[in-house]
Structure 1
Amino acid sequence: MDRLLSSAAVVAPLLVLVAGVSRLGAPRGVSPWTLLGLLAILCAAGARGVGGYLEARLRPGTRALPYHRLNRLVYSPLSLTLAAAVAGAALD
């Protein structure tokens, strides 16, 4: 039952967002589902990018792993770059 509740907690706000976008009108004839997809990618990539810099505080055990160095030098900046590219594409 917990999985169903957590899934509903994610899906319900997304449906409300799509309904709001379609009621307000998407810019330049863009589908509201496309905007929802862009927003989901933006949120996921942005959260991954920012979370990568905070991970050492949340999971101190990762500091000893090579992953920690790669996370700060490669993975998090790439995620933030992807989020910025998606935001730029959405605003274009």
Structure 2
Amino acid sequence: PAQWRALKARHRTCSGPGCDRPVNWTSPHHIEFWSHGGPSDLTNLLPLCYYHHRLVHEGGWQVVKTGERVKFIPPDRVIARRNRGPGMRWAA
């Protein structure tokens, strides 16, 4: 709980790209996964909402920390145009 309070004090929202969900709607994410030996300290934790947590754990996204900066790297996927439904347009 003390760590969670400190994490909430450092971040006002989810750390996911473009996300404005309040930090109270998030849970701590280990940048270096805890299951792979990542520490549970503030330098290895980010608040992520449910959506962004799933992108990392199930969607193939990576979170990489370089110094004080964090990058979210999407998976390398190409979606075939024929998979579009009728009337759908691609957004940039």
What's the TM-score, normalizing by structure 2? 0.28
What's the TM-score, normalizing by structure 1? 0.28
The answer to which structure, 1 or 2, has the higher relative contact order (CA under 8 A, 6+ apart) is 1
Decide which structure has greater strand share: 2
